[in-house]
Each structure stands twice: as C-alpha cells, then as structure tokens.
Structure 1
Amino acid sequence: MATIKEISQKAGVSMATVSRVLNKDKTLAVSDGVRNQIFAIAHELGYVPVKLRHLSVSEGITIGVADWHVLRRESTNQKLADLTKMAERDCRYPVRFIRLFYGQDAEVDGVIALGYFTEDETAYLLRQSCALIFVGSNRKDYLFDQIRIDHESGVREMVRSMTEEQGVRTVGYLGGIYEDAQVRIGEKRMRFFESLLKEKGLYRPEQFLVGECTAESGYGLLKGAIEAGQLPEGLLIGSDEVAEGALRALSEAGLAPGRDLSVTVYKDIETRLFATSSCDTIRIYTDFMWENMLRCLLERVEQKRQETITMIFPSRYVRAK
C-alpha cells in the first residue's frame, strides 16, 4: 500500500499537507486543485486512509449515493429502500444509504455514483471516499470499479418486437427533459431512440412528445396527442413519472396498453411506486446488477480487494404478462 511520503513526493507538497487533506481537515488553507490532486494520486497509488483501515464494520457503515445525473434533486430515490433491504439480507452489519449532493461534503464510508460524471465531480466523489464504484458511467479507464450498462440493447429489442412480432407500424416517444446548472437528464435516451427510428425509417417528429419530467406533463402531452388523432401504435415512455400521467390519460380515453397500443416504460431509477404491470418495460438496473454492485463496493470498504473490477450488464426488454 502507498504511503503518505510517496503521495507527497508525487504531489509536490509536504507530508503534513497530504495527511491533513486525506483526513479531511477543513481548517487547512489549500486550493481545491491541490486538494483534488492529492486525492487522485492517493487513489491511483492505492492508498487507504487511516479511518477506513481502522473501520469497524460491525458498528455499521454509511454509503453515499450520487444520483444527480439520473434523478431530479426533489425526487425521492425509492431504490435506497431496496438497497437497504439487500444489505440487511446479505451483510453481517448495518448499512445505511444517503443521497449525496454535489459540492456538499458528507461523512460516508463508500460511494455509489450513478451516471456520467465530469472530472471535477469525480474529484468531489473521491474526497468523500476512496471506496467508489461507478454505475452506468462513460469512463473508458480502469481506475475505478465500474458497472457498465448497455443501454441500447433493450431499446433495440423493443423496436424489433414491436415491428416484427406485434405488427406496430408507427412508433413514438413520450418523455421529459430536466435541466439545471449542473445536469441535463433525459436527452441521451431520447436522442438514441430518435436515431434508431431514423435508421429504420420509422421516425415521425410529430410523434415525439417531449416536455417536463413530471406526471402532469406526461398527462397533458398524451391527452393532446389522443385528441389530435396522432397517437402512435407503439409508444416508449421515458420515465416512471411521465408514465404515471400518460397512463391516466389513456385510461380517461378508454384506451388500454397491450390492447389498443403497445406501451413500453423505460425503467431506470424508480421514483414512483405505481403499477405498470399492464405495460412492457425496459429494465436498466436489475436486482442482479444492484446485488453485484453492492458486493463489489463492500469488498472495497472492507479492504478485501485492491484491484479494480469492470462488469457489463445489458438492459432488458420485458413483455407484460
């Protein structure tokens, strides 16, 4: 394992500075650039902070979840409850999960990072804990544990099933874009779906309904399409929240998924607890993936492994029963 001396030599700062930075001494006057550099070098060399080395897992650990690239700040991450149950089932000690918000430091023993992150954001995550796993990231290196997700496979299978098995002739999209100063959620999946339909000669701009990432927006957009007679035979809905409103609009119009049109809901981080059993789904984060992610992260927290691991999981198109 690397030492404070090795890190200080590579960073070009004193051993005292390295020690105080790695121990998160907030009274130390040092630039963010130097602070981030020290954490990055420590991770690269495999240094494990004293706190983590002496961590008594029997007393319980806290895992931070960085989900601001896949979930709006004001939304509830329902998956945290599921992760807690998984940990209770598989771990010998208590595990608590909390949401992280960029720029706000937290006392955590490990970090789950969901989505694409900039280098500045990665530096922030490393400051929280060196036990870090990226899920659904676009990282091309092997510096961190990663779970990569083939987001495209499930969508391709859905389009194939709709057009070749279900007899669907027109395919549309209903979704929302959420944007603030830091993130833009919802656009990547929409753009890929648009390019796929163009590739197959199925794209119709009037059947791409895009508003906000809310149930109200989903309801209003689909109600308008129904009234205008522009409802496609097949529909991909971009999120749980939008789907909640869309299904209400279909019900009010006397239309049912599976009977009157083919409806698929894109399921990633679940923010709503409502029934979508009548709809097909594209499953991004399966329970099997979450279980493997949790196991990998706990190996890091418990210092059972220093080598990095990368796993790849496909998205799944699942027909309603």
Structure 2
Amino acid sequence: MATTLKDIAQAAGVSLTTVSRVLNYDQSLSVGAATRKRIFAVAEELNYAKIRRPKTEPKTRLRKIAIVQWYSEAREQDDLYYMAVRLGIEQRSQYYELEVTRIFQNNINQLTGDIDGVIAVGKFSTDQVRELQTLTDNLVFVDDDQFSAGFDSVLTDFDQSVQQVIDFFWQQDLHDIGLIYGTETTTDGRRKISDPRQQAFVAAMMAHQTYRPEFSFASDFTNQGGYQAMKQAINTLGDTLPHAFFIANDPMATGALKALQEAQINVPERVSIFSFNDTALAKYVYPELSSVRVATRLMGITAVDLLRERASKPRVPQRVELGTELIFRASTK
C-alpha cells in the first residue's frame, strides 16, 4: 500500500496535523528544525508521494505480478537502494490496482498460483533468467542489463555520473583520486558481477592520464566492506593516501568514514569523499556525504509501466537508462 500521512506521523513520532503542515511548508507552525528534518527524512525513506493516475491507460490483462528481489529481506534493510526501488514498484502497482507478491533472495519456489508478470530487481544469472521465464514471458529487469537477452531493462547511467564526480574533483585540484568499489555474485554463484562504476572510473581517470590501479580497493557493498577497504588503503598507502575517494555506495562510504576517523584523518580537509546512490543514510553520518542521487523510485515506476505495455501488446524490448544528480554535502570541500 502507498505511504500515508498517518504512516509518516507514526514513524516520526509526531501528530498527523504536524506532518501535514510540515510537508505543506507551513512556516507559521512552531516546530523545531530537527523535527522538520526528521519528518522530511521519514517521508523520503517511505517514498511518500502523490502519483496521479494517467488519464488514458493501455488495455491489459495484467492483474497479478511478482517482485523478485535478489537480496534477502535482511540485506535489503541494510541497503536502502533496493528497498527504494521496490517501494517505487509497489506504489505504482497500487495505482494500477495490481496484486503484488514479494519474493526475496530469488526464491521463486515461494510463488503459488498464476502470475501475469515479473519485475526482477538485482542481478541474475542466465539460469535464473531462464527459470523466471518459465513463470511468464512478461519480464522486466531493474538494475540488470538483460536487454541483449531480449528483456526490458531499467538501468542507471553510471558513465556520465562517475565522469561528473571525477570532473568535480578535478576542478577542486584533486588529481590523486582513489576508488572503493564492490564485487558480488548472483545468488546461485554462477555469475560474477562487475561493478560498472569501477569501469567508468578507470575510463574517466585514464582520460586524464592519472589512473593508478594501486589506488583502487575492492570489497563487498556493505558498511564493513567499506571500512575494511579504507583500512587497507590507509595501511598500504600511508602518506600517499589519495586526497579524494569515489566510493560505490553509501553503506561502503559510511564504513570508510569510520576507518578515516579512527586513523584521525580529517574529512574533507585531508580526504574528500563522494558516494553513490544518495539514500537516507548519506544525510545521517558525520560529515554528511556528498553522493550521486539515483532515481530509485522512478526506476520502480518505469518498470511497472514497461510491464503493463509489454502485457498489453507484443513489442520489441526496451532499454531505459535514467540520469542522476550530484548532491553536494560536507564530505567534499
């Protein structure tokens, strides 16, 4: 179900009236800045939005869909990126009055009864794609490029966003730039996932003729992974530690911040950090993280719209790539 003002009020610990007046920017309301900030943060985390139903809709028999998430439910709680995508799917589905079933960790054996379409969120091996195809031909992938395999895919423009981060550091006269990126495999272990941010970073730095592989550190996409990677960078590089780091997601960036703070390395005075995804987490660490904002909610909305189009009539596959925005905060100068 879509998020309501009552949901936000309960999560923020304030009255329904207070939530309504804050979200409508009622400046006459006597409420502290911290409370206003908490209400907006909760609203953003719960993806509160008023989405208008289109005036005209394609004719479709789409009624029951499944969201197949490659993360476990517990892991999704730690990485708000995929949660935000899922909530976008669920909100859009409600406006189309679609019945939605949630499946975590690609466990499609949990599906009972017929479904009319699947939105697969995350990364999937060839075998897993084939297994999903046995359920329905109406398949849309989010955050996994399955376009060449003949499926609609909703993706983020990594190349331009990473280039923009490198250009920003360059304008700040920061030319020694490090990278902390992620590695992972599909849940069946049959496909190793290359981080597209790492590939874009290498290309951008090579264009400046300043790429140094010893400044790149791989780990998993978790807080602990980012912590361990930055600890390794500090221990191995010493005084040659780069003056800027691009880090592949917010949980990793928060872990890297912890490692720098333990080593008494000031951010951003000695090391500037730019993260990726701009989840709510980016604003609740110190210093707050500059981060690439990804249109996670729009990714979910787009996936539902593509699924409805595909179910209404046969057509060629579509590959939709959404843009990003740089959000500047205190972790950069």
Structure 1 counterpart of 2:312: 304
Given the superposition, is the C-alpha separation of residues 294 and 205 from structure 1 closer, same or farther in structure 2, using an over 3 Å criterion? same
Given the superposition, is the C-alpha separation of residues 311 and 258 from structure 1 closer, same or farther in structure 2, using an over 3 Å criterion? farther
> Structure 1 stretch 309-318 or stretch 234-243: which is displaced more?
309-318
Match of 2:152 among 134, 145, 152: 145
Structure 2 counterpart of 1:43: none
CA positional deviation for 1:250: 2.8
Equivalent pair of 1:78/1:272 in contact (CA under 8 Å): no
CA positional deviation for 1:111: 1.5
Given the superposition, is the C-alpha separation of residues 96 and 271 from structure 1 closer, same or farther in structure 2, using an over 3 Å criterion? farther
Deviation digits for residues 101-151 of structure 1 (CA, Å, limit 9, x no counterpart): 277473443212346655433321211222211234444558433334432
Equivalent pair of 2:103/2:110 in contact (CA under 8 Å): no
Distance 2:199 2:280 in 1: 22
Equivalent pair of 1:133/1:146 in contact (CA under 8 Å): yes
- % identity of equivalent residues: 22
* Structure 1 unaligned spans of 5+: 1-51
CA positional deviation for 1:315: 4.0
Deviation digits for residues 270-289 of structure 1 (CA, Å, limit 9, x no counterpart): 79797368222234443323
**2:298 matched to 1:291?**
no
**2:243 matched to 1:243?**
no
Given the superposition, is the C-alpha separation of residues 271 and 241 from structure 1 closer, same or farther in structure 2, using an over 3 Å criterion? farther
Distance 1:105 1:94 in 2: 16
Structure 1 counterpart of 2:242: 232
Match of 1:176 among 179, 182, 197: 182
Structure 2 counterpart of 1:204: 212
Equivalent pair of 1:137/1:148 in contact (CA under 8 Å): yes
Given the superposition, is the C-alpha separation of residues 260 and 271 from structure 1 closer, same or farther in structure 2, using an over 3 Å criterion? same
Structure 1 counterpart of 2:39: none
Match of 1:129 among 124, 136, 142: 136
Secondary structure (helix, strand or coil) at the match of 1:247 reads helix
Equivalent pair of 1:66/1:101 in contact (CA under 8 Å): yes
Secondary structure (helix, strand or coil) at the match of 1:167 reads coil
Secondary structure (helix, strand or coil) at the match of 1:129 reads coil
Structure 1 counterpart of 2:161: 154
Equivalent pair of 2:182/2:220 in contact (CA under 8 Å): yes
Structure 2 counterpart of 1:265: 275
Equivalent pair of 1:219/1:248 in contact (CA under 8 Å): yes
Deviation digits for residues 245-302 of structure 1 (CA, Å, limit 9, x no counterpart): 112223334555445433121229x7979736822223444332322222222444xx
How many residue pairs get aligned? The number is 258
Distance 1:291 1:94 in 2: 15
Distance 1:97 1:157 in 2: 35
Equivalent pair of 2:283/2:289 in contact (CA under 8 Å): no
Secondary structure (helix, strand or coil) at the match of 1:78 reads helix
* Structure 2 unaligned spans of 5+: 1-59, 77-81
Structure 1 counterpart of 2:202: 194
Given the superposition, is the C-alpha separation of residues 191 and 313 from structure 1 closer, same or farther in structure 2, using an over 3 Å criterion? closer
Q: Could you tell me which amino acid in structure 2 is paired with residue 83 of structure 1?
A: G
Secondary structure (helix, strand or coil) at the match of 1:281 reads strand
**2:111 matched to 1:106?**
yes
Distance 2:94 2:108 in 1: 32
Distance 2:191 2:73 in 1: 11
Equivalent pair of 1:282/1:315 in contact (CA under 8 Å): no
Secondary structure (helix, strand or coil) at the match of 2:134 reads helix
Secondary structure (helix, strand or coil) at the match of 2:66 reads strand
CA positional deviation for 1:88: 6.4
> Structure 1 stretch 112-121 or stretch 172-181: which is displaced more?
112-121
CA positional deviation for 1:308: 4.0
Secondary structure (helix, strand or coil) at the match of 1:75 reads helix
Bigger Rg, structure 1 or 2: 1
Q: Could you tell me which amino acid in structure 1 is paired with residue 173 of structure 2?
A: G
Secondary structure (helix, strand or coil) at the match of 2:75 reads coil
Structure 2 counterpart of 1:46: none
Given the superposition, is the C-alpha separation of residues 200 and 114 from structure 1 closer, same or farther in structure 2, using an over 3 Å criterion? farther
**2:70 matched to 1:63?**
no
Distance 1:147 1:179 in 2: 20
Distance 2:73 2:96 in 1: 29
Deviation digits for residues 186-219 of structure 1 (CA, Å, limit 9, x no counterpart): 5443234224323322222332122343322321
CA positional deviation for 1:156: 1.0
CA positional deviation for 1:159: 0.8
Given the superposition, is the C-alpha separation of residues 119 and 221 from structure 1 closer, same or farther in structure 2, using an over 3 Å criterion? closer
Match of 1:87 among 76, 88, 92: 92
